[in-house]
Amino acid sequence: MMKIFVTLAFCIAYFACHAQMKNSNLNYKNDTILKVVYKSKKSQKKDPAYFINGKHIKGFNPATIAPNNIDSITVFKEDFTIDTKSYYGQINIFLKKGYSPKWISLNDLKRKYIKSVNTPTIFMLNNDFIKLDYSEFFIDEKYILKLEVESMHKQIGDIQIARILTKTEDNIKKANEIRIR
C-alpha cells in the first residue's frame, strides 16, 4: 500500500510541475496545413530543481530512478535560483534507507559501455530525447535495463543513437516478449 501511495505522490508531483494546458486556439483537422514550429531554449519553460536525499541533482529526470526505492516526496512551488539558474519549484525525493543509487552521467555511461566513444551520440531515455547537457544529466545505473546503440552513418552521417531503457514494468515485459516474424 505504501508503494502505491509513494508512486501516486511521485506522479502527482511530477505532473504538477510538468502539466500542460489545452490551447483553445488550435483546431487541427485532417485537412490542416502543415505547421512547422521551431523551439528555442529561450521559449522553454523553467523546470523544477530536483533534490535526492537533500543533494541537488542538476540534470535529473524522474524516470531515471525506480519508484519502489522512493520513501517520500515533497514539492515546493516557488521560484528560486541555484548558481544563477532559475527554477520553478523544488522536488525533494527521499529514498528508502539502505538504497543508494549509483549515479552516472551520460558522458561517463558512453565511455563505460559504448565502443565508439568518439562518434557523436544522441541519447534517448525510454523513447524521449534527452535535451540536457550530457555531462550534467545523471541516471541511476542500477535502474538501467538495457542500452541499445544504433549507428546512423548510412542515413545521416557519422552519428549514433543510444537508447536507454529503464527497469519499468512495461520495459521488462517488452524485453521478455518473444516475437515471431
Q: Is the domain of 81 the same as that of 159? A: no
- Tens of pLDDT, residues 114-144: 988 788 899 999 989 998 889 889 999 999 9
Domain limits for position 55: 1-19+45-100
Distance CA 31, CA 6 (A): 44
In this structure, what are the phi and psi dihedrals at residue 157, rounded to the nearest 5 degrees? 105, -170
Q: Are 138 and 132 in contact (CB under 8 A)?
A: no
Q: What is the pLDDT of residue 87?
A: 86
For 97, the grid coordinates are 534507507
In a domain, 61, yes or no: yes
Tally the domains of the chain. Answer: 2
In a domain, 40, yes or no: no
Q: Is the domain of 96 the same as that of 61? A: yes
In a domain, 34, yes or no: no
Q: Is the domain of 116 the same as that of 82? A: no
Q: Among the three residues 75, 100, 125, which one is the final residue of a domain in this structure?
A: 100
In a domain, 2, yes or no: yes
Q: Is the domain of 94 the same as that of 110? A: no
Q: Is the domain of 168 the same as that of 88? A: no
Q: pLDDT band at residue 6, thresholds of 50, 70 and 90? A: low
Whole-number average pLDDT of the chain: 81
Q: What is the pLDDT of residue 140?
A: 92
Q: Is the domain of 95 the same as that of 125? A: no
What type of residue is 150? E
Residue predicted with more confidence, 96 or 83: 96
Q: Is the domain of 73 the same as that of 57? A: yes
Q: Is the domain of 118 the same as that of 167? A: yes
Q: What is the pLDDT of residue 27?
A: 64
Q: Are 119 and 157 in contact (CB under 8 A)?
A: no
Q: What is the pLDDT of residue 72?
A: 94
Q: What is the pLDDT of residue 35?
A: 81
- Tens of pLDDT, residues 17-33: 555 555 555 666 666 68
In a domain, 27, yes or no: no
Lowest mean pLDDT among 6-15, 52-61, 75-84: 6-15
Q: What is the pLDDT of residue 17?
A: 52
In a domain, 38, yes or no: no
Q: Is the domain of 73 the same as that of 159? A: no
Q: Which of 1-5, 28-32, 57-61 has the highest mean pLDDT?
A: 57-61
Distance CA 2, CA 100 (A): 19
- What is the per-residue burial (b if ≥16 Cβ within 10 Å, else e) of 77-91? eeeeeeeeeebebbb
- Assign 181 to helix, strand or coil: coil
